Structure 1
Amino acid sequence: MSDTVERGSRPLERVADALERRDASVAPPSPELSVTSVATSAPVMERPQAVMPKSPLREDIEIALAEGLEEIYTALPTATQATFRQRGEQLAMRMETMLSGGKFGLRDAYQSLTAWLRLLPSAGKFFRYFLEQEAKVKMDTLLAIARRSGGEKLEAGS
């Protein structure tokens, strides 16, 4: 099976290119860099952040969801950006669970995806068509990821 799924003029290989760039941008820490302690007048208590490492599957999903939305995202107000990002991460986690669980419910995935895209502010009468087209493009990419990650059972319902 070919790794290329045509979507209009944008092939799926753009996701693979983004993954390669991400992997290339992660450089090992330099030995010249060292952490120096700075004396402060009062100790600052930082709340520990529970950072869970993302699986490669989730990173693939997040890249697929973010593809093509960069300009729209940067134009959003800060509060809307935070909400959109948080819901996008929740959606990616849900999609990962569906994919790793062995069943990928197409209807459920599509409805979740369109609900997330509806968080974007409407920009005129053609927004509905943009939303439907963007959801279709992202579903095609997610289906390609599902097939590539092991050929899980794809279900039309649920």
Structure 2
Amino acid sequence: MSRRTRIFLGMTIILMLAAAGFITRYDPSQAKYEIFREYRGQFDAVKSETLLLMDSLDERSNIGNTFIYSNNGNAAAPQLHESMNTGLQDKIRQLASWSRDSLDFVRYSRQDGKPLLRFIFDWEREHGPTYHIVYCTSQSMVEQTYAAEPVKYKLNSLADGWYGIEIE
């Protein structure tokens, strides 16, 4: 074998090993949370404004699920909570646009005085499995909330107080 052939064969083997390493380490479940990584500031802004809005509306310790945003699919125009100001509405609409309209719901609840804000994507599984991006100061409360639902899920930590939930 000539020197040139050995070099070419060596480079080919190195490229194949690198590709195999990339493929085995690639986690497609993390790709769906790219919207959070890219637009984290927008998620934080929606969270802050929603917490202020909900605190001003109700002083009780626990609030059941309140729909802040609902994209009713093709049947009707998206619904926004009646008490939202236009700034918060625009922020949520922008997130929906950036998600290519896979943001279906934004829900708020409070349990034991702790807020739980859920951004629910791909509810009807048109683009893959349903997933949620969730804000809560207590991971155990997030786990409790999803354990009570009749679904299997996988919890991923995204940032301080932010979680990704894959619904199987």
Calculate the TM-score normalised by the size of structure 1: 0.25
Determine which structure has the larger strand proportion and give its number: 2
Higher RCO (C-alpha 8 Å, min separation 6): 1
Determine which structure has the larger helix proportion and give its number: 1
